[in-house]
């Protein structure tokens, strides 16, 4: 490949490459968004956060204000989680982090599943 | 505006949420994905929608939505994500070893 080759051809493949990269990025943004949304939403329903929100809204009779406060708190806490995750991904090697995260997720899944199962089919 | 009520809601929910399973899941997804923005947008909107349901439906939420079944579905999702991460961890270790062998 001559180094000083005129680049009349190169911009086109580059731009298509960039485009496909962009599409890939957009798709993965949507996929990551959807995965996170579904997981967090399902896990959060019926959780203690909602219990707190319910109690506060029942006592105060001002559900809008309670909703704003709860939303701000939840957005802050998810920001803390995201920042913590980014920090961990910089500190730990990816393989090790994935293994730790996988074990954590499976443990959470088992615990959550047990809780739900016990609540659905109470034994004694 | 009743600032004390707003502040007390914020503090209660924020403290209840710290170290919660949801936040652990967010840490996990964010740490193992390159798209922190998508993780933040997804988790924040999910949490806001869940609390909207909580504040709006009041005590009747568990009567309207089968929360236990949803939690069971969530636990399956956690298991799937965890399993995929463990598989990926194994693959990453292999590629690391190959790279080390090449050196």
Nearest Cα residue in chain A from B76: A109
Kindly report which listed range (A77-81, A112-116, B69-73) carries the lowest average pLDDT score.
B69-73
Confirm or reject contact between A27 and chain B (CB < 8 A). no
Query: Which residues does chain A have within 8 Å of residue B49's beta carbon, measured at their own beta carbons?
Result: 41
The reply to whether residue A56 touches residue B71, judged by beta carbons under 8 angstroms, is no
The reply to whether residue A101 touches residue B17, judged by beta carbons under 8 angstroms, is no
Q: What is the pLDDT of residues A4-26, one digit of tens each?
A: 444 444 444 444 455 455 444 54
Cβ A86 vs Cβ B32: under 8 Å: no
Q: What is the pLDDT of residues A29-61, one digit of tens each?
A: 888 888 888 888 888 876 666 666 666 666 777
User: Per-domain residue ranges for chain A?
Assistant: 21-91, 93-124
Q: What is the pLDDT of residues B33-46, one digit of tens each?
A: 888 899 999 999 98
Q: What is the pLDDT of residues B11-35, one digit of tens each?
A: 888 888 887 888 888 998 888 888 8
Distance in angstroms (rounded) separating the CA atoms of residues B24 and A75? 14
Name the token pair of A82: 């995201």
Higher-confidence position of B78 and B65: B78
Element (H, E) at A2: none
Residue of A64, A72, A106 with shortest CB distance to B82: A106
Chain A, 75 to 104: residues with Cβ < 8 Å from chain B are 75-86, 88-89, 92-99, 101-104
The reply to whether residue B13 touches residue A73, judged by beta carbons under 8 angstroms, is yes
pLDDT at B59: 55
Confirm or reject contact between B68 and chain A (CB < 8 A). yes
Cβ B82 vs Cβ A84: under 8 Å: no
Question: Min CA distance, A64 vs chain B (Å)?
Answer: 8
pLDDT at A86: 92
Q: What is the DSSP string of chain B?
A: --HHHHHHHHHHHHHHHTT-HHHHHHHHHHHH-S-HHHHHHHHHHHHHHHHHHHHHHGGGHHHHS-HHHHHHHHHHHHHHHHHHHHHHHHHHHHHHHHHHHH-
């Amino acid at each position: 490949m001559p180094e000083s080759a005129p680049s009349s051809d190169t911009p086109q493949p580059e731009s298509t490459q960039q485009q496909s990269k962009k599409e890939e990025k957009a798709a993965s943004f949507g996929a990551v968004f959807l995965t996170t949304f579904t997981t967090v939403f399902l896990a959060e329903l019926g959780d203690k956060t909602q219990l707190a929100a319910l109690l506060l809204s029942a006592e105060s009779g001002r559900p809008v204000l309670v909703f704003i406060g709860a939303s701000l708190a939840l957005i802050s806490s998810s920001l803390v989680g995201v920042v913590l995750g980014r920090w961990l991904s910089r500190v730990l090697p990816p393989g090790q982090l994935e293994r730790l995260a996988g074990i954590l997720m499976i443990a959470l899944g088992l615990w959550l599943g047990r809780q739900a199962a016990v609540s659905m089919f109470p034994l004694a | 505006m009743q600032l004390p009520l707003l502040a007390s809601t914020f503090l209660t929910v924020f403290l209840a949420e710290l170290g919660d399973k949801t936040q652990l899941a967010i840490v996990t997804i964010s740490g193992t994905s390159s798209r922190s923005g998508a993780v933040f947008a997804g988790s924040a909107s999910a949490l806001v929608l869940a609390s909207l349901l909580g504040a709006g439906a009041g005590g009747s939420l568990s009567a309207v939505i089968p929360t236990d079944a949803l939690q069971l579905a969530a636990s399956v999702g956690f298991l799937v994500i965890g399993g995929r991460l463990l598989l990926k961890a194994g693959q990453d270790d292999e590629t690391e070893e190959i790279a080390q062998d090449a050196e």
